[in-house]
Every structure is written in structure tokens, then in C-alpha cells.
Structure 1
Amino acid sequence: MVSTQRRLLPWPGPGGQPAYLLSDGGADSHLWRLADKVEAVQLRTGDELVGYARAMVDDRKVGARELRFVVRRLTEALIDTRRIADSRAMRLAELDDADPSDRHSLRDSEHATTEEDLL
């Protein structure tokens, strides 16, 4: 028996509303794998922004305009990270509710995306 899995996608839908993927294939779906890759890029971008922000805060030559710019980007990265966390929490809740025979396939769909996967 194949169950349909619901996944909150790492990008907003029309008008900024949450976008969901309903999939019978889970991690085997092209769109599911794309969402994994987008999440990996978003998380890596957030990490890079934190590094830039730390350096900027310690640099007295950096002006308010530059700081506002990095704060905007950090805000965007935090929104992305929260959406990723919400998506993963939903999938973990589904895992808790799943039939024990389906748990292995759900866990397999929660694989880490490596940089090689993005190329």
C-alpha cells in the first residue's frame, strides 16, 4: 500500500502562502529531490550570511546601509530556515503516525543532500 506524503516546500506559493507537495513517491519524486537541494542551498546561504554579519558587526567602518542590507538577508535566511524546520517537523509527525512497515521508507526520504547532489 502506497501512502501519500505531504511536504511543505522550501519556497512560498502564490502570494507568499505555504506551498505543499503531495507525493506517492516521497524521495523518489523529482520535485521532492529538488526541494531537498533547495533546502541545502538555503541552509548553506544562512551559514554564510552569519559569517558576513559577524565580520560586519566587528568592523567599525561598516555603515548603517550595509548593516541594514545584511539584516534583510539574515531575515530572509531565518524565514527559509523556519520553513525548513516546519517542513521537517511535519514529516517527523507523519513518521510517528505511520504504519511501522512504512517507517523505513519515510526515514529513507529524509536523507542529507550533499554538495555533489547539487551539481
Structure 2
Amino acid sequence: MSAPEETSTTATLRLLPWTTPEGKPCYLSTDGGEKSKLSLLADDIEAAQLESGEQVLAGARSVLADPKAGERAVRFALTRTAESLEDVLRVAVSRGGRLAGSEQ
């Protein structure tokens, strides 16, 4: 009788594109195998966040190019830009973590 083969299952934590109500990060434990429904939902939300970021950037550039844009318009554009930047940075950190995990 042969010895049982060792299997190495290395679960990784994926940073999800949303936070708890308290603003804390959410993670999904994955094993690198088939994608779960939650993982696919996170993929869809990341794609929507990136698309929204492109739209917000275009809007902010438009406001900044308008010399008649008032303080209210500039503040709104900057607020939305900061929100989108936060989302895009979270996506980058999440994807960077998954890339680093796949190199092991």
C-alpha cells in the first residue's frame, strides 16, 4: 500500500470591491479553482466600477476645461473623482494580489 499523496491547497483571500457598513474591507476565500457566484459578482462590480471611473474622468475633464464652471460644479466633479479613484485603487490592489498569488 502506498503512502497517501500530499495535496497542497492554498486558499487565497480576494479583496472584494465593496466594504462592510463600517467601511472595513471584505474578502473572499478562494482556492484558485472554478469561480463562485460571489466571485463572478465581484468581477461584474469591478468592471462597472472601472467603467464608471472612465465616465467620471471624462466629466471631470469637461468641468475643468470650462472656465465658467462654478465652485459647486468643480467640487462635485472632484468628489466623484475621489470616489472613483478609491474604487479603482481597490480593484488594482485586488487584482495585484491575485497576480502575486498566481506566481507562487
CA distance in 1, matches of 2:30, 2:85: 27
In our comparison, the structure showing a higher alpha carbon Rg is 2
Local SS of the residue matching 1:19: strand
CA distance in 2, matches of 1:18, 1:80: 12
In structure 2, what is the equivalent of residue 86 of structure 1? 93
Local SS of the residue matching 1:72: helix
Local SS of the residue matching 1:20: strand
What displacement does 1:89 show? Answer: 1.0
In structure 2, what is the equivalent of residue 21 of structure 1? 28
The structure with more helix, counted as a fraction of residues:
1
Work out the number of aligned pairs and report it: 97
TM-score under structure 1 length normalisation = 0.74
TM-score under structure 2 length normalisation = 0.84
The correspondence of residues 93-104 of structure 1 with structure 2, limited to 5 A, is 93-97=100-104
2:49 is matched with which residue: 19, 42, 46?
A: 42
CA distance in 2, matches of 1:70, 1:27: 39
Q: CA RMSD in A?
A: 1.6
Name the aligned partner's letter for residue 63 of structure 1. G
The structure with more strand, counted as a fraction of residues:
2
Which stretches of structure 1, 4 residues or longer, exceed 6 Å deviation after superposition?
Answer: none
By relative contact order (CA 8 Å, sep 6+), the higher-ranking structure is 1
